[in-house]
A = this chain, B = another copy of it.
């Protein structure tokens, strides 16, 4: 007897069993439908890239987490750690074959050799969408609307999209005479959610003094509504500008498209405390929180940038985009009890109640499938309890029963496995009608 290799997965990695994978597929299918409805197209890039492409300027925290190695040809390669870097490389390489503005979505796995103690996985899925090659406000608005429609399409309750503008923030910091301190101020404000207002005050005071710290805290506090918040920001930042005009355009577009206001699950708020880290973003920025679970942080964030691909091309590629945290959304759906809990797609299980009926069962299965019902035949005659047990594991709603007795009486039986009710019917067609009326999964 040969030795058994212990079956196991690497730390930080996981298998998706059917229920989890069906849930993830459903989420991806919904998001895909919404992306397409906004004119976004899919692309794909290789999992492995040249290490110099992935690491770019290098030196970041992420670099150490990249799975890097030498391939069979001695090339330094790495597994992608996000979808932004490959997209930048892709745009630089293919812009002449494509067209601008280019709206793409990409839902794919990425890998980071992170410390798993914080409950993070080393393999996870990202979901990015961007509009590249335009500075227009419509593109900013489209990203906000898409975030809205995508989350509204999920059964995840109400949510709030927080929006801000980096330029407006920078103008305000300049009025304090602290323009060169803007990155540190941004960084401190970005921690508001995690450390709270008073800790931020301490950080800010150390940078720009207590009086200015107070002014920053006043600036980042939202007012009652969009208009009054925007008015305050314009006043504190030295007057209206293209930045505040841009925020107003996005707001008006969202109102026009029905993405804010009564009857929607989504709120859009102007939130001057949203800064989204330090470097990349240059215009509007967004974060999105679930109203029932603010503690999990942003489930969809992004913003406008001036240069997508300056590492790989001299061509200017401004754009706007966001990323949805699929794993966070799945966790949230689970915590909120909103998962479908679907174990399979099967709607009809054909029970094997008598030998010699194989051909009849195949005919029945083919008829059900042609009617659009997902159908399987239990593979062999076993005790009914075993066959029902299987149906229960897969949460199959209906069983089809046909044996000698039914044949003699010229009927077929549909059993509703949820109510344990039997329905005697004259034909498979009548069975299909019944199932359609009663509803499936």
A interface residue numbers (CB < 8 A to B) = 2, 4-11, 13-18, 21-22, 24-25, 36-39, 41-50, 52-53, 56-57, 64-65, 67-73, 75, 77, 79, 89-90, 92-94, 97-99, 101, 103-104, 109, 111, 113, 123, 131, 134, 136-139, 141-142, 145, 149, 249, 252-253, 255-259, 309-314, 343-346, 349, 352, 358-363, 365-366, 369, 373-380, 389-390, 393-394
CA distance A373 to B33 in the complex (A): 11
Residues A49 and B10 in contact in the complex (CB < 8 Å), given A5-B312, A42-B21, A256-B362? yes
* A-B contacts besides A21-B44, A67-B72, 14 pairs, CB < 8 Å: A2-B310, A4-B311, A4-B314, A5-B312, A9-B49, A10-B48, A13-B46, A25-B42, A41-B343, A47-B123, A134-B379, A142-B376, A142-B379, A253-B358
Residue pair A390, B312 in contact (C-beta under 8 Å): no
CA distance A259 to B394 in the complex (A): 26
Residues A43 and B21 in contact in the complex (CB < 8 Å), given A101-B379, A366-B257? yes
Task: Give chain B nearest CB distance to A284 CB in angstroms.
Answer: 14
Looking across the interface, which residue of chain B has its beta carbon closest to that of A391? B99
* Most B C-beta atoms less than 10 A away, residue of A45, A113, A131, A138: A138
CA distance A94 to B378 in the complex (A): 21
Residues of B within 8 A of A50 (CB): 8, 10
Residue pair A99, B394 in contact (C-beta under 8 Å): yes
Task: Give chain B nearest CB distance to A134 CB in angstroms.
Answer: 5
Task: Give chain B nearest CB distance to A32 CB in angstroms.
Answer: 8
Residue pair B37, A18 in contact (C-beta under 8 Å): no
Which A-B residue pairs are the 5 nearest by beta carbons? A39-B376, A69-B69, A136-B379, A18-B41, A16-B44
Residue pair B374, A36 in contact (C-beta under 8 Å): yes
Task: Give chain B nearest CB distance to A367 CB in angstroms.
Answer: 9
Residues of B within 8 A of A343 (CB): 41
CA distance A389 to B100 in the complex (A): 10
Residues of B within 8 A of A53 (CB): 5, 7-8
Residue pair B69, A43 in contact (C-beta under 8 Å): no
Task: Give chain B nearest CB distance to A254 CB in angstroms.
Answer: 8
24 contacts between A and B (CB under 8 A): A5-B52, A7-B313, A15-B46, A16-B45, A17-B97, A18-B43, A18-B104, A25-B42, A37-B345, A37-B373, A37-B374, A39-B344, A39-B349, A41-B343, A41-B344, A71-B113, A134-B380, A138-B379, A141-B362, A253-B362, A256-B362, A256-B366, A257-B362, A257-B365
CA distance A138 to B249 in the complex (A): 62
Residue pair B15, A42 in contact (C-beta under 8 Å): no
Looking across the interface, which residue of chain B has its beta carbon closest to that of A72? B113
Residues of B within 8 A of A77 (CB): 10
Looking across the interface, which residue of chain B has its beta carbon closest to that of A140? B379
Residue pair B366, A258 in contact (C-beta under 8 Å): yes
A312's contact among B4, B94, B123, B362, by CB below 8 Å, is which? B4
Residues A43 and B15 in contact in the complex (CB < 8 Å), given A366-B257, A390-B99? yes
Looking across the interface, which residue of chain B has its beta carbon closest to that of A348? B39
CA distance A16 to B39 in the complex (A): 18
CA distance A319 to B81 in the complex (A): 37
Residues of B within 8 A of A361 (CB): 138
